[in-house]
Structure 1
Amino acid sequence: MELKFVIFLLILINNFSIIMSASMPDTEEDQVFAEYMNKFKIRLRKTANEVDKVRNNVIGKYRMIKRHNERFRKGKEKFEMELNKLSYLSFEELKKSTLGFRGNETSPYASKAIVVQPISKTSRTRREAPLPEYWNWNDKGIVRPVQDQGTCSSCYAFAAIGAIEAAACKTLGQCQKLSEQEAMECTDLCSGGWDDAVYTYSISTGGCTSSNYAYYGYKRQECSTSKLRKRITNTKVKGWYLLPNDEETIRTYLYNVGPAFVSFYLYENFYNFKSGIYSSYEGEYAGAHAVLLTGYGTENGTDYWIMRNSWGVEFGERGYFRMQRGINLCNVEGWKVTIPIV
């Protein structure tokens, strides 16, 4: 009787060990994937193909991040990377859902911009005071909190509305949250668009509060300009500056006028930025992205821009990131930098 019990117990222990070993990650990458899925609560259709696809996406990024962060620890990189809520998506899925600036096409409203000439040496010497070494409008209370554009290619709307909000708050004391949904639905929808289109629409209408025209991340109606949607006083755009490819001019206007719409080329490694100063691109080209430029500074001899993204607070430095300044990295200083006038 005792022998049978011992045999039964051994079989039970063996089966339990098999079950546990099957459910426990047996490699570093298995553990990384399991922890990632648990942390970000990713829900999948429970098919082998779907799980394998997502695992390949996550582990592929993990390997790139691991190589990069080894260089970072050796002082060969200026920024650190991490897996984030976007890491389970494929590169093609990321391109379709996170961008939204149609920079390779000419905006039909581009000719309306006030083109700014580079600041000459004479102009620089006539400034009343030199620019401060560090400046961030986010510290001054005129920049609204970070938001998430979701899977709509509407970064252009978030960046342009952010610039209008800041201009109205700084210049006229009108500090209400305006509607990106309206900007998106009444201009170029989720197919990507231009800052010029948002500014031009605002010239005739002014802004509507976000609470009165909430963001859904997809086209919900045909540009509702109903009288029920109250327009916000002092939020009509009167024009906008188009700044030149000149770091000193951009800094001067940023400091003296306010936050700016800025666009840049986005590459694969940017999706996993964690902290530091984004200073080198790696991987495939994804497309054109637009964000809100709020400030600048210098760290350990490296000049940088401070920018508010529209991928939620989980990205980067609480939704912000810093990019190396003065070298036109990813064409950030040479493509499209505008500031609205209210």
Structure 2
Amino acid sequence: MRIAFCFIVVAISGAFSYGIDSNPFSDEFIDYINSQQTTWTAGRNFDKNTPVSHVRKLLGAVKSPVPRSVTNVVLHSEDTPIPESFDSRENWPDCNIIRVIKDQSSCGSCWGCRAYSLAPCEHHTTGSIPACPKDVSLTPRCNKQCDKKSSLSYQSDKSYGQKPYYVSNQEKQIQLEILKNGPVEAAFHVYTDFYAYKRGVYQNYFGQYEGGHAVRILGWGVEKGTPYWLVANSWNEDWGDKGLFKIIRGRNECEIEDDIVAGLPKL
């Protein structure tokens, strides 16, 4: 961990000593990342004039202050073979919700599992939906009623969870959970270079800590020899790789393997 920290510090100081613009939406910032021949490619997701504070408001995940105990971490038998790659969307093709890339609008509630009541908005440089409001939206209240236009009743349309739990931070345990029960929720640390992700296997190269973010891990694979997690973001499909990103797997990059949560529905 200390070695990784030192590497980031050197990278930051090296970039700034050469006069690289620290604005993650600038051409200089994007070009500098791409010049380093990392495992991922940077590009323009946000307009050059976007205030960093606007995007930072989308980071609303806070790690639990309560340490995990043995009693609330589910462990799977490791007898099951792990395939080299796995994608929940392909394994459960009839479960359309797995394919959905959500849009949390201008709200920091990246962790809500309910459907967002805020209208999607255009954070990015391309797209046809309305622009996001300048001010951050408050997390919507959990109203116990269906939308006015819905023909369903709240009581009949409710889904129930059977068991929420933490997943071990061991790579194989996370894979076994996804193999058996589908996508998991993960909280990770966001650094400024993440804003510019376009494709490839992300790993933090340089930039300051911006905040915590909650995302869904859909599966895993290997790209050009680099193992990765396949992850769905919630900034609509115009961000990154059609709303998805890959992040290096097996070394707790940005602490993404530290805080994995899953649950079982009551069927």
What TM-score bracket applies, with the shorter chain setting the length?
0.7 to 0.9
Q: Which structure has greater helix proportion?
A: 1
Residue identity opposite 2:84 in structure 1: E
Q: Distance in 1 between matches of 2:59 and 2:262?
A: 20
Residue identity opposite 1:322 in structure 2: K
User: Which has the higher Rg, Structure 1 or Structure 2?
Assistant: 1
2:51 matched to 1:90?
yes
Alignment of 1:143-162 (within 5 A): 143-157=98-112, 160-161=113-114
2:245 matched to 1:321?
yes
Q: What secondary structure, in the 3-state scheme, does the structure 1 residue paired with 2:214 have?
A: strand
Q: Distance in 1 between matches of 2:216 and 2:47?
A: 20
Q: Distance in 2 between matches of 1:281 and 1:57?
A: 13
Once the two structures are TM-superposed, the CA of residue 247 in structure 1 deviates from its matched residue by: 0.4
Aligned partners of 1:137 and 1:294 also within 8 Å: yes
Aligned match for 2:27, one of 57, 62, 66: 62
Deviations 1:142-174 (A, max 9, x none): 2142122121001011xx35xxxxxxxxxxxxx
Structure 2 equivalent of residue 256 of structure 1: 180
Aligned partners of 1:265 and 1:330 also within 8 Å: yes
Structure 2 equivalent of residue 138 of structure 1: 89
Once the two structures are TM-superposed, the CA of residue 62 in structure 1 deviates from its matched residue by: 1.5
Residue identity opposite 1:253 in structure 2: E
Q: What secondary structure, in the 3-state scheme, does the structure 1 residue paired with 2:194 have?
A: helix
Aligned partners of 1:57 and 1:87 also within 8 Å: no
Aligned partners of 2:185 and 2:214 also within 8 Å: yes
TM-score, L = length of structure 1: 0.57
Aligned partners of 1:57 and 1:89 also within 8 Å: no
Q: Distance in 1 between matches of 2:153 and 2:138?
A: 20
Unaligned stretches of 5+ residues in structure 1: 1-55, 162-178, 183-216
Q: Distance in 2 between matches of 1:313 and 1:219?
A: 22
Once the two structures are TM-superposed, the CA of residue 300 in structure 1 deviates from its matched residue by: 1.8
Once the two structures are TM-superposed, the CA of residue 274 in structure 1 deviates from its matched residue by: 0.5
Aligned partners of 1:57 and 1:90 also within 8 Å: no
Once the two structures are TM-superposed, the CA of residue 58 in structure 1 deviates from its matched residue by: 6.6
Aligned match for 2:61, one of 78, 91, 101: 101
Aligned partners of 2:189 and 2:254 also within 8 Å: yes
TM-score, L = length of structure 2: 0.72
Q: What secondary structure, in the 3-state scheme, does the structure 1 residue paired with 2:106 have?
A: coil
2:206 matched to 1:282?
yes
2:266 matched to 1:340?
no
Query: Across the two proteins, how many residue pairs are aligned to each other?
Result: 218
**Percent identical residues:** 27
Once the two structures are TM-superposed, the CA of residue 86 in structure 1 deviates from its matched residue by: 5.5
Residue identity opposite 1:69 in structure 2: N
Q: Which structure has greater strand proportion?
A: 2
Structure 2 equivalent of residue 180 of structure 1: 116
Do the aligned partners of residues 234 and 264 (structure 1) sit closer, same or farther apart at CA in structure 2, a change above 3 Å counting? same
Q: Distance in 2 between matches of 1:249 and 1:293?
A: 13
Q: Distance in 2 between matches of 1:106 and 1:86?
A: 38
Which has the bigger relative contact order, CA under 8 A and spacing at least 6? 2
Structure 2 equivalent of residue 36 of structure 1: none
Residue identity opposite 1:135 in structure 2: F
Once the two structures are TM-superposed, the CA of residue 102 in structure 1 deviates from its matched residue by: 1.6
Structure 2 equivalent of residue 225 of structure 1: 144
Q: What secondary structure, in the 3-state scheme, does the structure 1 residue paired with 2:218 have?
A: strand
Q: What secondary structure, in the 3-state scheme, does the structure 1 residue paired with 2:174 have?
A: helix
Structure 2 equivalent of residue 310 of structure 1: 234
Q: RMSD between aligned alpha carbons?
A: 2.8
Residue identity opposite 1:114 in structure 2: N
Do the aligned partners of residues 331 and 259 (structure 1) sit closer, same or farther apart at CA in structure 2, a change above 3 Å counting? same
2:255 matched to 1:295?
no
